[in-house]
Chain A
Amino acid sequence: MNPRASLSTLTRKPWLWSFLAALLIWLATIAFTGGAGAGSLLSGALSFSAFFVIVGIGQMFVITTGPGNIDLSIPANIALSGAIGMKLMNGDPGLIWLGVLGVFCSGLLVGCSNYALIRLLRIPPIIATLSASFLLQSMAIAYGRSVRVQPPEIFYQFCTGNLWGVPYLAISVVVLAVLMAVVLNRTLYGRWVIAIGQNPRAAELAGGRIGRVRFATYVLSALLASLCGLLLAGFSGGASLSMGDEYLLASIAVVVIGGTSVAGGFSNVPGIWGASLFLYLLVSMLNTFGTSAGVRMILTGLIIIAVITAVSGRRSARSA
């Protein structure tokens, strides 16, 4: 393959950039440490990125359905689901099924109420999910106030264990991502999601049931956020109220950095993995370099703005 052809493949597949950037950062970090801890860094990155990927996929489906669609209830949902899951399991391996079922039900309810607010009150999704998140946050505070319940041992093992250095969690989430890519690109539902994002009017005239597709999308996003909350609680040895806080920015950032169009209609599942690895590795690289928390945050913010600026520049160049 000549260099120009490979370059054009690169620009046609925006998600490659995020993997490339993640790889570069990983190399820079191990060059700095002299090769020490390269494997454990990668293993940690896979674990932490898995959580970003779970919520990122849900947010991606929501964002794909068109401008203005966004799910702001993710952090509150994560906090609530973690609390529900840990409380129902109560540290007993025999009750894991109950915890999973409870979290699944709460996710389902959150998704339904999010869409009900959007539909019944005819308000923009931002406001609907925002007001829902206020309620969820209060519920999480009131419900999760009691003592910290440890996850059952076997659940903890699943969330933190690994197979030849690859975390179980990462393997499961890769499977989930493949599944979601198939749903997005090969099923009727996924095609409608993309069609509605590109042109809702045309999709409606073509017979698309916009209401149902958007309903399913908000439920999917809420379910994935609940799943993330449950696994996160298992991973960190118990639920905490603030554990979802960073996931609002993260869920949007991985979608954008991963090459999904913020205007909707064009989405990208593999990019979410690349972007999640990139974000985690970036933070840990800055950690290794010994930068302070403040500098780390500033750089993260700058990179997000730089990426979104570069991405939009590329798109306008292509359309010109």
Chain B
Amino acid sequence: MGSWITRHLQGLHPFRYQRRDERGIETVATLIMIPFLFVLVMGLVDIGLMFRARMAVESIARDAARGAAADGGNYWARTNSLGDEWDDWAKGRMWSNRSGCTISRCLDNEEVSVNCRQVTPLGGGTPRNSNVAQQAGDVITCTVYYPYKGYNKGLLDSPFGLGMGSFLKPFDISVSARAETGTG
């Protein structure tokens, strides 16, 4: 007695219904997690690449500032055998007219720009726009605008990007060096 009734009732038990539905729940969870993990990993890689690009641009700006400082300004190409100015020299290391940015991807229709013409007098004060330092001790500042874009900016800017797209934006780098000589 009770055998078929019990079996029937067991068959109607709510948990029995769920058995069939619960199969594959791990697959579903994995399918939900994989895009999430993918975005996280892509974001981490992209932010790492952005730090790399910043360091490379900083390094070039520093070299240009130091070169200009040793030259007494941006104009005199005493140590630059090609005779180009230091901002052209720096730009040539980050930008190619044919392929655009060479360090990493950049925004479309935007160009790298370098300005090594800011000279602050030795005693301080407002920087003036000049190609030459007046005396040793003046500070020459090279400013670089780099229109950084990132490799997965579209993905990271989307709602799935968890806000990581905001890290991947153009940046300015500014490096100052002390002029070792001047016109004075």
Q: Do A and B come from one complex?
A: no
